[in-house]
Amino acid sequence: MSQKLAKSPELLRKEAEAKDLEAQLKKKQTTLKSLKTRLQNIKTDVEEIGRRVHTNMLNKMEAVEELRMEIAALARQLKLSKGVNKLDKEQLQMLADEMANSGMFGGGFEEYKAQKQQRESGNFDFDEFERARLRNMFAEFEVKPPEKEQKEIRKVFLKLSQRFHPDLAKNEKEAQEFHLLMQQINEANQHNDIQALLELESLYLHETLDFEAKAVTVDSLQQVIDRLKRDIQFIEKQVDRTSEEIKQLRKSDLGKLLTSVNKADRKGQGLDDATAQVEEMLKMFTQLRDGLAESIQLGKISPKLMDLLMGEELEEEEEDFEDMDPFTLLTKLARGDEDAFSFFNAAFDNQVEDPVFPVGTTVRVAKSVWSPFDKKTNMQGWQGRVVSAYYDDEGEEAYAVSFDSQTVAQMPEKLVDKALKMDDDFQEADFSEDQLAICLPRDTEQDALVAYRIRYHGSVWKSLPDKAMAARLQAILLADPNLIDHENWTNYLTQHLHFPFEARVRGGKGNKKGDTIQVFGINSVNEQGHVMATKANGKKGQSYPLAHLQAADENSKEYEVLEDYLVWASDSFW
């Protein structure tokens, strides 16, 4: 008689209940991990804006300011040369006065420089300090659990911390391991990340229950069931908190900042375009400084400097620069000034306070309007939802519309292909007020998102030379269009990777390129994509992004899966 048949009905019922709860927990954990990834991506994007302001903009602005003062000093020095005539001396004096007496980037930039100079001493990293201030602004959006739940979370924390406190280690090696574990435990507790605490608890404090083992009893199964129910409740509550945090951050000035930057970039008014103009000014000022220095050596105005002074390049560049962008805003933004975020939206997106078509309104294109991606496609009759209301360059109300599922489905293939080649969003277009009319919705926002994914993945992989790979990627990412990419990948990897398997390191952290490691399963999903649990040099517990790994056996199914994943990861926004 088999082991299964020998079990009592009560034991079998408990086993079935435990297995069902395990499946539920895994689904909820996947949902939570996807939400945490989405939240981290938003934070990463905001931090990236701050980094771009610091490294690409403010440093170059400082260089321009230094050159400005250097040019003023050189102009005064050249003015004293005997080989310079009276008219040239007057022009040099005007140049020196202009450069010395007027900051080019406004009072905000002068304030930024003063604060930087005041704080910068010894090993103090001012740039890192400012970036940290920006990151700290995320704290206000964290949704803390109620007091009762916090006490329950703390119970799990105390159980782990009491087990892995470094003082309890038996030797130095174990002390180091406990120290690393305590860092993870403390960080998870600090952020009320019960999921991370439960994973550590499950990994280190609970044995995996073998349902076929003879030692399994009704009581032991009941303990597992109680723990699984507890874990599911914990995860459900963290899902709610994380969703709320994403919602709050999206609606905040920080969240709106992302939309504004992206829209400004598309209009040629974004940070990259502003930086390009500062770089042009830097180049021009460098030429002017070199021309002055050369003239001082010659004792007279050099031909190079004459061309610069007589030409209109400086005046034109300054005029373009003045019209380009509010630099006071950028410096405040870099310092984490909360007022700057509201100002940024007004400067770049010019939000309409009381629009004719409020955000979320369903509208249709009432007039002939040609698509910006395909001049042969008339968008009249297309329908969608207003996602932004702003003032255009002429001060008129304009609306960004995200098209609904029916419109997306009927878009010409050529239009979608062209938009993707331009790295733009084919689902969205801008219209003036008179081009739109209110209508009834034909679908939900989720329907529209699903339609977008179908068209996106149906087009973006067509350019791959490996048509079989293109077909596989489409099948993987559209297996369930209601799921985001990494959720579809999680399902696919779970089905098609057979653990453990041997892999080689492509590069990245930890081991050297080409090192062989053992892959045991999916450890987590974060901004790096799917992070795998691995073992290298006999040491288990390391983790590696899947995109950094290549299956050692080129004839294995794992090899094909990892190659497909790498292509997707290279094109994704992790």
The pLDDT tens digits for 92-149 are 888 888 887 766 565 555 656 665 665 555 555 555 555 565 556 677 788 889 888 8
Report pLDDT for 318.
38
Distances in Å between the Cα of 95 and the Cα atoms of 60, 72, 320 are: 21, 7, 19
* Dist. CA 453–CA 440, nearest whole Å: 23
Q: Is the peptide bond before 500 cis (omega within 30 degrees of 0)?
A: yes
Q: pLDDT tens digits, residue range 322-375?
A: 333 333 443 344 344 444 444 444 444 457 778 999 999 999 999 999 998 888
Q: Is 472 helix (H, G, I), strand (E, B) or coil?
A: helix
* Dist. CA 384–CA 428, nearest whole Å: 9
Which sequence spans correspond to the domains of the chain?
A: 13-144+236-349, 362-458, 467-571
At 302, the pLDDT band (50, 70, 90 cuts) reads confident
Report pLDDT for 494.
94
- 534, 520 contact by CB (below 8 A): yes
Report pLDDT for 281.
79
- 93, 101 contact by CB (below 8 A): no
Specify the pTM. Answer: 0.45
Report pLDDT for 451.
95
Return the residue matching tokens 């290549």: 550
Give the up-direction half-sphere exposure of residue 91: CA atoms within 13 A in the CB hemisphere: 13
Report pLDDT for 107.
53
Report pLDDT for 361.
95
Nearest to residue 401, comparing CAs of 414, 392, 391, 388?
388
Nearest to residue 213, comparing CAs of 201, 227, 224?
224
* Dist. CA 530–CA 524, nearest whole Å: 6
**pLDDT tops 50 at residue 319:** no
Mean pLDDT of 19-24: 89
- 509 versus 571: the higher-pLDDT residue is 571
Which two structure tokens, joined as six digits, stand for 195?
A: 């999921």
Report pLDDT for 338.
45
Which helix H or strand E contains 507, and what residues bound it?
none
Q: pLDDT tens digits, residue range 364-418?
A: 999 999 998 888 999 999 999 999 888 776 778 899 999 999 999 999 999 999 8
- 29, 235 contact by CB (below 8 A): yes
Q: pLDDT tens digits, residue range 228-240?
A: 999 999 988 888 8
* Dist. CA 165–CA 241, nearest whole Å: 29
The number of beta carbons lying within 10 Å of the beta carbon of residue 503 is 25
* Dist. CA 382–CA 407, nearest whole Å: 6
Mean pLDDT of 172-195: 89
Averaged pLDDT score across all residues of the chain: 79
- 249, 141 contact by CB (below 8 A): yes
Distances in Å between the Cα of 358 and the Cα atoms of 350, 387, 388 are: 14, 8, 8
**pLDDT tops 80 at residue 271:** no
| Top CATH class, 467-571 | mainly beta
Mean pLDDT of 13-29: 88
Report pLDDT for 385.
96
Mean pLDDT of 264-291: 71
The residue type at 354:
D
**pLDDT tops 50 at residue 466:** yes
Which helix H or strand E contains 531, and what residues bound it?
strand 529-536
At 169, the pLDDT band (50, 70, 90 cuts) reads confident
Report pLDDT for 120.
57
At 321, the pLDDT band (50, 70, 90 cuts) reads very low
* Dist. CA 427–CA 267, nearest whole Å: 17
The residue type at 339:
D
Report pLDDT for 31.
78
